[in-house]
Amino acid sequence: MTRFLFRAKDWNGKTVNGNLDLGSKGEVITAIKDSGLVPLEISEKRSNIFDELFKAVFGRVGLKQTSTFTRQLSTMMTAGLPLTDALSLLKNQTEGQGKMFEILDHALTTVRGGHSLADALTKYQSIFGESYVASIAAGEEGGVLEEVLEKLAANLEGEEEFQGKVKGAMVYPIIVIVGMILVAFVMMIFVIPKLLDLYKDFGTAKMPPATLILMTVSSWMAKMWFLFPLAIGGIMAVMKAGNRNADFRLKRDTLLLKVPIIGDLTQKTIIANSIRTMAMMLSAGISLVETLKIVAKVAGNELFMRAFLKISEKVEKGYSIANSFEDVEIFPKIVNQMVATGESTGKLDEVLEKVASYFATEAEQQVKVLTSAIEPLIMIVLGVGVLFLMIAVIMPIYNLTSSF
C-alpha cells in the first residue's frame, strides 16, 4: 500500500483534502469518485526517517484510546447517528492526536467509499486486534453493529480496569526494587571504592571477611561495569530472536507458569483475558471454531495458544466444547465445569463472562497478596544490606581504634 495525498471538491464546491492508502492512483481516483467527490490533485506521499521515528515514538494507540473510541462510537450509533457522521465527529475531536486521527481519517474515507468499517480497521489490526476486527465484521454482517460495539466497549473497559489495578498494585514494589538496584550499583562503583581505599594501608590480613568480600565485589564491578548493560542487551536480543521460534516460546512460557506465585498469577490473568474475549466474540455471533482460533492468537502464551487450537480442532471434528476443554489439562477444573454448564444451558457466552470475572477477581486479590508480601521482604533485604555495609565499613575502624 502507498499513501496518496489528494485534493477534491464536493458538489457544493467545497475543497476537501485527505489521504488514502491504496495500491495505485487509479484506485485513489475511483475511491474519491465513489465517495461523491471530484478529484483535483493526487500526489504520492514520500515518508522519511523522521516521519517513521515520530510514528514509532508518538504514534502508538493504547488500550485506553481504543476503549474510548469504541465507547464513543457505540454511544453515537445507539443514538441513531449514521456511521459516517459518527466517524466524522470523532475525527474532528481527535485532530492533532497522531495515530488515532490517522485511523479515523482512513476509516471515514474507506466507509464513504462504500466499504465496511471492518475493512477500514483491517489495516490497523495490529492495534485493535484480530478479535476486535472480526467482531466488527460479524456485527456489520448481522446488522447489529451497535450491540457489538457496546459489548466491545464493555470488554475493553473491563480489560483496562483490570490492567490498571494490576499495574497500580505493582508500581510501588517495582519503583522500590529498581531504586534499590540503582543505588546499590552506584554505591558499589563510585562510593564504596573511595571508602575502602582508606583501608588498603591496613593490609588484607587485618580486614574482616565482610570487608574483604565488599572490596572484591566493588573492585570487580568498578572494572567490569560495562558488562551489565551488555548482558541486559544480550538477554533482550536472545529473547527477541527466540520469540520467533515456537519451541523456544513453548519452553519459556511453560517455565514462566511454573514460577511460584508469578506463574499462578500469569495463568489467572491469561484465562481472564482470553475467556472474556471468547465470551464477547460468541455474543457477537462469531462461530465457536472461529472464536477459538482467534482467541488462540491473542492468548499471549504459547501453551494456551496450543490449548485453544487443540480445542478448536476437536470442536471442528464434532466433539462437544465441554469434552474438548476436559482433554486440555492446562485449564482449572472450574473452567471445564462452567463450560459444560454453559453448553448444556445454551448460554455459553454468559457463563464464560462470569468465568472471566471470577478469574479477574482472583488475579486482583493475588496481586494484592503479592504486593503485601513484597513490601516486608523489601524491608528485610534493605535491612540486611545496610547491616552488611555497616559491618564491612565500620568494623575495620573499630578494630583499628581498639588496637591502640
pLDDT tens by residue, 131-158: 888 888 888 888 888 888 888 888 888 8
Q: Which pLDDT value is given to residue 50?
A: 40
231 found inside a domain? yes
**What percent of the chain shows pLDDT beyond 70?**
88
Instruction: Say if residue 10's pLDDT is above 80.
Output: no
Amino acid type, 317: K
Mean pLDDT of 309-334: 89
Can you tell me the mean pLDDT for 285-291? Answer: 88
Query: pLDDT by residue (tens digit) across 162-173?
Result: 777 777 777 777
Q: How many residues does the chain have?
A: 404
Q: Is residue 55 part of a domain?
A: no
Residues 108 and 193 in one domain: no
**Residue 175: C-alpha distances to residues 140, 169, 178, 371 (Å):** 45, 11, 5, 12
DSSP for residue 199:
G
Does residue 56 fall inside a structural domain? no
Confidence band, pLDDT 50/70/90 cuts, at residue 49: very low
* C-alpha distances out from residue 99 to 20, 105, 206, Å: 14, 10, 65
Domain co-membership, 343 together with 376:
yes
DSSP code of residue 202: G
- In whole angstroms, give the CA distance from residue 323 to residue 304: 17
Distance (Å, whole) CA 22 – CA 16: 18
CATH code for the domain of 152: 1.20.81.30
Q: Total structural domains in the chain?
A: 3
Q: Kindly state whether residues 274 and 338 are assigned to the same domain.
A: yes
Q: How far is CA 177 from the centre of its chain?
A: 22
Q: Which class for 216: exposed (0-12), middle (13-18), buried (19 or more C-beta within 10 A)?
A: exposed
Indicate whether 68 belongs to any domain.
Answer: yes
Contacts of 370-378 with C-beta under 8 Å, sequence gap 24+, read 370/169, 370/261, 370/265, 371/169, 371/170, 371/172, 371/173, 374/173, 375/172, 375/173, 378/173, 378/176, 378/177, 378/180
Sign of dihedral through CA atoms 246, 251, 257, 262? negative
Q: What is the pLDDT of residue 238?
A: 84
**148 and 216 inside one domain:** no
Residue 331 lies in a domain: yes
SS3 state of residue 260: coil
Please say whether the beta carbons of 70 and 26 come within 8 A: no
Q: What is the pLDDT of residue 173?
A: 76
State whether 98 and 77 are in the same domain.
yes
Is residue 57 in a domain? no
Burial class of residue 20 in the structure, from the number of CB atoms within 10 Å of its CB (0-12 exposed, 13-18 middle, 19+ buried):
buried
In a domain, 52, yes or no: no
Domain membership of residue 357 (yes or no) is yes
**Do residues 339 and 299 share a domain?**
yes
Percent of the chain with pLDDT over 90: 4
Determine the angle formed by the axes of helices 288-298 and 130-142, rounding to 10 degrees.
Answer: 150
pLDDT score recorded for residue 351: 92
Question: Quick check: 81 pLDDT over 50?
Answer: yes
Mean of per-residue pLDDT scores for the chain: 81
- Neighbour-count burial for 320-341, b at 16+ CB within 10 Å, e otherwise: ebbebbbebebbeeebbebbbe
Q: Give the Cα separation of 87 and 138 in Å (integer).
A: 19
- Tell whether 129 and 232 lie within a shared domain: no
* Range 47-64 average pLDDT: 52
Same domain, 323 and 182: yes
Phi and psi of 16, rounded to 5°? -120, 125
What pLDDT shows up at residue 23?
Answer: 63
What does the pLDDT average to over 265-286? 87
Answer yes or no: do 290 and 225 share one domain.
yes
More confident: 372 or 236: 236
Domain boundary among 156, 177, 192: 156
CB 400, CB 202: distance < 8 Å: yes
Say whether both 184 and 256 belong to one domain. yes
d(CA 99, CA 51): 12
On whether both 241 and 206 belong to a single domain, the answer is yes
Picking from 134, 156, 178, the residue at the C-terminal end of a domain is: 156
Residue 310 pLDDT grade (very low, low, confident, very high; cuts 50, 70, 90): very high
Which range of residues forms the domain containing residue 32?
Answer: 2-46
Note whether 39 and 78 are same-domain residues. no
Q: What is the dihedral of CA 107, 108, 112, 114, to 10 degrees?
A: 10
